[in-house]
Amino acid sequence: MILQIFSVFDSKVEDFMTPFFSQTIKSGQRAIANLARETDHPLNTNGEDYTLFHIGQFDTESALITTQKTPVALGLAITLGSPPRLPITSDHAKEAQG
């Protein structure tokens, strides 16, 4: 199995946090989004300071780690932790108009 490797960069400290693993990029983003929604978590209280980066992959069969040439920014914690926006359908538009 190939796991994705992520790290969060703290712009105030100017350092990357300990990496974590997730099955997909979307599940890694969701993990950070969930933390960013926790009331007393630093990713919530200072969400604009933290950026999620995809830094590589880990093969669980060979133990081989492959890194990105350059870490890929996936979003600020404050943005990832925002409530998801639902697409507006014609039914929603009618309800909004009363």
39 vs 18 pLDDT, higher one: 18
pLDDT tens digits, one per residue of 24-73? 999 999 999 998 888 888 888 888 899 999 999 999 999 999 999 999 99
Residue 98 amino acid letter: G
Q: For the residues of 12-41, what is the DSSP string, one character each?
A: TTTEEPPPEEESSHHHHHHHHHHHHHSTTS
Dihedral sign computed on CA atoms, order 57, 79, 83, 85: negative
Taking the CB of residue 29, how many other CB atoms lie within 10 A of it? 17
Residue 4: band (very low, low, confident or very high) from pLDDT cuts 50, 70, 90: very high
Under DSSP, the state recorded for 48 is G
Judged by DSSP in three states, 52 sits in strand
Which phi and psi angles does 90 have, rounded to 5°?
-60, -35
